[in-house]
Amino acid sequence: MKLSGLEAKDAAAGAVLDERVDQELVESLLGSKPWLRCVSVFMWIAVMILLGNSGYRTAMGHELTEQEDLGRTMAVVLGLVYVFPAYRSWSVANAIGRLRYGRARWELRVVLEGQRRFFTFMGASLTLLLMGFVLMVLFAVVRARF
C-alpha cells in the first residue's frame, strides 16, 4: 500500500495505523461530504465558465477594447486561482469517503488537514476580496470629490 505525504509522515513518526476513529466522528464528517462535493462541482463549473468564455472570445477573434481585455485577463486569473480550492474540496470529499471504510487515525488527519487548507485559502480569498471592495469605494469617493 502506497502512502501519501501526510500518511507516510504519520507512519514514520510511529503512529499506530490500526487505531480506529470513533464512529460518531466519522458520521459527523460524512454529513459534510455531500456539501463539499457540491461546492467542488460549482467551483469546477465556475472555472470552466471563466476560462471557457475567455478562450471563446479569443478563438473567435473578437476585437476587444482595453476594458474588455482587462476583464478577460481577470477572468483567466480568477479561473486559475479557483482551480486549487475546487481540487482541494474534491480531494477532501474523497478522503472522507476513504475514512468511512478505513477509519484509521491517519485518514482522519488527512481529512482534517485538507479541510484546514481549503478553509484557509477561502478565508484569505474573502479577505482580499473585501479589501478590494473597500479600496474601490475609497477610490470612488476620492475621485468624486476631486
d(CA 50, CA 138): 28
pLDDT of residue 3: 55
pLDDT of residue 20: 77
Q: Which three cell numbers stand for residue 68?
A: 474588455
pLDDT of residue 118: 87
74-89 CB burial, b ≥16 within 10 A, e <16: ebbeebeebeebbebb
Burial class (CB in 10 A: 0-12, 13-18, 19+), 128: exposed
* Residue found under cell 474588455: 68
The domain ranges of the chain are 5-145
Q: For 52-90, how does the pLDDT look when each residue is reduced to its tens digit (9 = 90+)?
A: 887 777 777 777 788 778 888 888 888 898 898 899 999
Single-letter amino acid code for the residue at 137? V
Phi then psi for residue 104, to 5 deg, are: -85, 155
131-142 CB burial, b ≥16 within 10 A, e <16: eeeeeeeeeeee
Q: Which three cell numbers stand for residue 137?
A: 469605494
pTM: 0.68
CA angle 25, 27, 33 (to 5 degrees): 110
pLDDT of residue 40: 93
pLDDT mean by block of 10 residues, the chain; 146 residues:
56 55 86 92 93 78 78 87 90 90 86 90 92 94 88
